[in-house]
Amino acid sequence: MKYTHHNHELNKNHIGIEVYLKGWVAKTRNLGGLLFIDLRDRFGMTQLVVKPENKNYETALKIRNEFVIEAKGIVIERENKNLNMPTGEIEVDVFDLVILNTSDNPPLIIANDTDALEDTRLKYRYLDLRRPVMQNFLIKRHEIVQSIRQTLVDEGFYELETPILGKSTPEGARDYLVPSRLYPGSFYALPQSPQIYKQLFMIAGFEKYFQVARCFRDEDLRSDRQPEFTQIDIESSFVEEEDVREIIEKIMVNTFKKVLNEEVKAPFEIMTYHKAMELYGTDKPDLRYEMLLKDYTEFFKGIDIPLFNDEPMVKGLILEHGESISRKKVDQLTEHVKKNHGKALAFVKYSKGSYTGSIIKYLNEEQLQSLNLGEDHVLFLVPGSFDDVSSSLGALRIELANQFNLIPKDVYKFIWINEWPLLEYDEEEKRFYAKHHPFTAPVNALVLKNNPHQAMAKAYDIVLNGYEIGGGSIRIHNQDVQRLMFDTLGLTKEDVQHRFGFFVDALKYGTPPHGGLALGLDRIVMLMTNTTNIKDVIAFPKTQSAKDMMMQSPSDVDQKQLDELELKVGK
């Protein structure tokens, strides 16, 4: 017989009816002979009651946490109501009780709040995922994917798949390699993204493509990065940047409304890469709070401060309500600045009519007053190059916002970052690298040819609350421009033919103008569910050291498997 209700449905309107429930035991209590059982499924909880005279009493006494049971009974009104839960006004008086399966004592508390360490939670992930909070993360992920998918289908996009086993085209993060048994010594590569395949779809004439794509990058991990991740991959022909922005904004507006009932206003703000670095010190600015960076280079010109002398730039930011800032706190913040490429951190604090700080002995009263500091304002200053100053102050801004609780909750601020540099130059290797990837179109091919340091890209990122949640570009569709790009990156004809020969050939056959963007699904879910750990929204994630605690992988393989692949493992 099929159960009649899930464990969140029953209320006072059901009193007197017979019900049939199934689920896991969340908790049992024996109160003076009365046995109470909290029955849990993915929807919620229902309290069962078994009285001493009940024929099922001996069975109920055997029940422990996480047993799987089924129960039939009559809905009755609770004496002691719990108005904090949907079923808190009723309970089920059991007349039939069956233990479907027993359970060992679980190694972690299966409830929203658990004291288990992360390694334990990952080792027993199937138990961790029974916790309602964890199930909510994955259910929200499902709802987000379905909303995005529906918007794209409604806009005429086709959901098409691309291969997982592809060709290694190393340019950026490391590839995960898969040895071939049929071709000993040769390897497939797992895709870092479906970049080339989706461009081939455009060449093939599909015009509008998307895919919920699994991607793989062998790189050092962070709290918002995993070795395997999911992209919502999107590409379209005959588009410009504003067309791509429009469809992505429609996706975000629809998804936030459908999943969170949150109104998101479009169009989103647009900011150039240079302005973002100038004002926020990062290409992922968090617009939920101010504390902008300001250039103080001219102010300190002619003032003999050893820390600032011979440095090309001095920039700073002002923390309001910084009354608790002490020398010890500044020392801690200095270490944070140095970890993010800053040479040093100076400060000036104004409080109760007087100035304190590390550089006030070099400044007269008039100069101090012209800093325009308000009561309990602290000015932090970093000298150095534009890149180093921006990076370190950008990191300091985020650290201060977190420490002083400056970030409002339940606020979503989107921004587009565009007008990116096309290339970055590696001084050690004396060569250019693509800032995004080698298929990104330059704004002007002549500038790329004659002055590659100044070349700008038709590239754009979408940022939400300080996280990059998507990036894309208009692609190169002209074979001559693509050849120029490869030349600028220092790739020989042999390199190009070996890595991208099939793609270069494809460009010869009427490639349409096209562009697109890939949304980072894991980060979007993380932000929409208000967690700061990306592992929470991935069903079976890896640790920060890229290890699967549950499966115990990576692991050794049998010698027979290595022999079949004609591989030898070094010691």
Specify the CATH class of 12-101 in words. mainly beta
Residue 307 assigned ligand-binding role: no
∠47-53-56 over CA atoms, to 5°?
60
- What residues does 96 pair with on adjacent strands? 72
523-532 mean pLDDT: 96
The token pair at 6 is 């899930």
Is 226 marked as binding a ligand? yes
225 is in an annotated binding site: no
The answer to whether residue 171 scores a pLDDT higher than 80 is no
Q: Where are the domains of the chain?
A: 12-101, 134-271+413-547, 289-403
Q: How confident is the model at residue 214 (pLDDT cuts 50, 70, 90)?
A: very high
Give tens-digit pLDDT for 274-333: 999 999 999 999 999 999 999 999 999 989 999 999 999 999 999 999 999 999 999 999
How many angstroms separate the Cα of 528 from the Cα of each of 36, 228, 250? Answer: 36, 20, 16
pLDDT > 70? residue 172: no
The CATH classification number of 134-271+413-547 equals 3.30.930.10
Mean pLDDT of the 373-392 span: 97
Q: Can you give the pLDDT at residue 170?
A: 64
The residue among 23 and 168 whose pLDDT is bigger is 23
Query: 523 among the known binding-site residues?
Result: yes
Residues 221, 223, 227, 229, CA torsion sign: negative
What is the predicted pLDDT for the residue at 1? 64
**Helices assigned H by DSSP within 36-131:** 57-62, 118-123, 125-128
Residue with tokens 């290339």: 423
570: confidence class by pLDDT, cuts 50, 70, 90: confident
Q: Which pLDDT tens digit goes with each residue over 4-30?
A: 999 999 999 999 999 999 999 999 999
Domain 289-403 is classified in which CATH homologous superfamily? GAD-like domain (3.30.1360.30)
379 annotated ligand binder: no
12-101 and 134-271+413-547 in the same fold: no
The annotation status of 520 as a binding-site residue, yes or no, is yes
Burial string for 186-202 (b: 16+ CB within 10 Å, else e) reads eebbbbbbbbbbbbbbb
Q: Which residues contact 419 (CB under 8 A, 6 or more apart)?
A: 272, 273, 274, 443, 456
Q: Name the 3-class secondary structure at 227.
A: coil
Question: What average pLDDT score do residues 556-565 get?
Answer: 94
Task: Provide the pLDDT confidence category of residue 568 given band limits of 50, 70 and 90.
Answer: very high
pLDDT at 224 over 80: no
- pLDDT of 118 over the 90 cut: yes
pLDDT digits (tens, 9 = 90+) for 441-463: 999 999 999 999 999 999 999 99
pTM above the 0.85 mark?
Answer: yes
Percent of residues, the chain, with pLDDT higher than 70: 99
The answer to whether the CB of 185 falls within 8 A of the CB of 566 is yes
| Strands 208-216, 158-159: pairing kind | parallel
485-520: pLDDT as tens digits = 999 999 999 999 988 999 999 999 999 999 999 999
Q: Supply the pLDDT for residue 130.
A: 97
Does the annotation place 219 within a ligand binding site?
Answer: yes
Give residue-wise pLDDT tens across range 396-424: 999 999 999 999 988 999 999 999 999 99
pLDDT tens, residue by residue, 419-449: 999 999 998 899 999 999 999 999 999 999 9
Confidence of residue 222 (pLDDT cuts 50, 70, 90): confident
Position 200 confidence tier, pLDDT thresholds 50, 70, 90: very high
- Residue 173 pLDDT: 79
Is 171 known to sit in a ligand binding site? Answer: yes
